Amino acid sequence: MTLIKSISGIRGTIGGRTGDNLTPLDTVKFAAAYGTWLKKNSGKDKIKVAVGRDARISGKMIQELTMNTLTGLGIDVIDLGLSTTPTVEVAVPMEKADGGIILTASHNPKQWNALKLLNNKGEFLDGEAGAEILKIADSEDFTFSEVDELGEINVVADYIEKHIEEVLKLKLVDAGKVADAKFKVAVDGVNSTGGIAIPALLKKMGVEVVELYCDPNGHFPHNPEPLKEHLTAICDLMKKENADLGIVVDPDVDRLAFIDEKGEMFGEEYTLVACADYVLSKTPGNTVSNLSSSRALRDITNKHNGNYQASAVGEVNVVQLMKDTNAIIGGEGNGGIIYPEAHYGRDSLVGTALFLTHMAEKKMKVSEIRNEYPSYFMSKNKIELTPGLDVDGILKAVQQRHDGEEITTIDGVKIDFPENWVHLRKSNTEPIIRIYTEAKSQQEADELAQKMIKEIEEIVSVS
């Protein structure tokens, strides 16, 4: 069982001993630390926080603990109930809240839950704020409110509907064209809140919906990470129902994967590529993804005469670089679409609406759209090292071996070769180097990964 504290929040498994898992006491302590930080930094006498959750079995318990801890600090709470990560992000500025908490462990299995923390813009906290909250939690320096100053909880149960309304208002979303196309779409909501939000959006756009695992009961019917090996049921359903598109989301609905009319994966990396292609065709500009995302986004951006840049891994880093470069769309290769016209957060509802409009305009099958994009293949590996080894020194040695290539060191070492790339990142919690490669064939990507593993082994053997 595990409890992981980081600058972006706290996550862990339910049950077990305090300090080792996400127990009620750990939940209260971290919620109190966040509330204390807000009170210290807001400059207001009275503040409020929006709180929503995915459909995990533990969600109601964790939400009640979180909300009542905040009211104990004198903070008013907007209870969004069953929600999605992007819905909470949208709700914070719409409600003029001072912060937000999303109770979700994203793609982790059902025994996990987490508190993810937002600022008053509905964006994830930066490293400085996160570190300060961790410090407050460790010190347990909390001052709770007296009885006449307790906060209040206000239930607002329709924010998914409000979120959908905001998506449909986007200039590049054309629900009329989508309705005219008469699409039939299958949805795997992994029995979480995507099973509420995605079908509701599709029906508003005039789409015929075939629902699979859309009951938000928290009993995930398969591993909730939207990868090919976990999605056999919807791939089979696509062929059985003769559907035009398959949509898969993770439990908190910030990762989006498509399946084509043949029941084949579109590729999570290509969710962002396709949405960016559509957006750039209408509004030329810059794009951003992280260093471990596909080169295909760079190629598509260049095709539209834009400028592509890569950030360190992590949504907060992608968002910051998007702001710095005025990027009009960006995200992460795991199916995360960030479209600033909506908000600065990964949003599967926005991605779905943009892609359906793209399909309607092109009048092409999903497989045909995919074939328009350059094909790259990724390999993801890791090498475990003996504790005590100088991992930074090893990465430096790899960098020196390839100093004639294009190298980026903002997050580990990324080496861009003319036809492929490798990204090496160290783990913050264990002696591991993660090795991501991409090439124009799976064999080439795998071979490049093995070559880098051998190089690291050579460096270690002589160090």
From 53, 49, 51, 61, select the one nearest 22 (Cα to Cα): 61
Q: Are strands 112-118 and 153-155 parallel, antiparallel or unpaired?
A: unpaired
CATH code where residue 360 lies: 3.40.120.10
What stretch of H or E contains 258?
strand 256-259
* Residue 429 and residue 337 in one domain: no
* Residue 136 and residue 208 in one domain: no
pLDDT tens digits in sequence order for the chain, 463 residues long:
568 777 678 999 999 999 999 999 999 999 999 999 999 998 898 999 999 999 999 999 999 999 999 999 999 999 999 999 999 999 999 999 999 999 999 989 999 999 999 999 999 999 899 999 999 999 999 999 999 999 999 999 999 999 999 999 999 999 999 999 999 999 999 999 999 999 999 999 999 999 999 999 999 999 998 888 999 999 999 999 999 999 999 999 999 999 999 999 999 999 999 999 999 999 999 999 999 999 999 999 999 999 999 999 999 999 999 999 999 999 998 899 999 999 999 999 999 999 999 999 999 999 999 999 999 999 999 998 888 888 899 999 999 999 999 999 999 999 999 999 999 998 766 678 999 999 999 999 999 999 999 999 999 887 6
Number of domain units in the chain: 3
* Residue 139 and residue 35 in one domain: yes
Q: How many CB atoms lie within 10 A of CB 161?
A: 14
Distance CA 163, CA 182 (A): 23
* Residue 176 and residue 153 in one domain: no
* Residue 198 and residue 101 in one domain: no
The model's pLDDT over 169-209, given as tens digits with 9 standing for 90+, comes to 999 999 999 999 999 999 999 999 999 999 999 999 999 99
From 168, 97, 106, select the one nearest 341 (Cα to Cα): 168
* Residue 325 and residue 249 in one domain: yes
Q: Which domain-ending residue is among 157, 183, 218?
A: 157
The beta-strand segments (E) located in 260-398 are 286-290, 308-311, 327-332, 336-338, 377-384
Q: Which domain-ending residue is among 135, 157, 179?
A: 157
Single-letter amino acid code for the residue at 149: E
* Residue 168 and residue 145 in one domain: no
* Residue 177 and residue 73 in one domain: no
* Residue 269 and residue 362 in one domain: yes
The model's pLDDT over 322-336, given as tens digits with 9 standing for 90+, comes to 999 999 999 998 899
Distance CA 105, CA 111 (A): 9
Q: How many CB atoms lie within 10 A of CB 204?
A: 17
Could you tell me the residue range of the domain that residue 438 belongs to? 377-462
CATH code where residue 432 lies: 3.30.310.50
From 288, 284, 260, 283, select the one nearest 272 (Cα to Cα): 288
Q: Which domain-ending residue is among 157, 175, 206?
A: 157
pTM: 0.94
* Residue 174 and residue 321 in one domain: yes
Please list the residues that pair with 184 across neighbouring strands.
Answer: 208
Which one of 8, 58, 83, 106 is the catalytic residue? 106
Q: Is 6 a catalytic residue?
A: no
* Residue 102 and residue 120 in one domain: yes
* Residue 349 and residue 330 in one domain: yes
From 5, 302, 311, 3, select the one nearest 136 (Cα to Cα): 5
Distance CA 146, CA 420 (A): 61
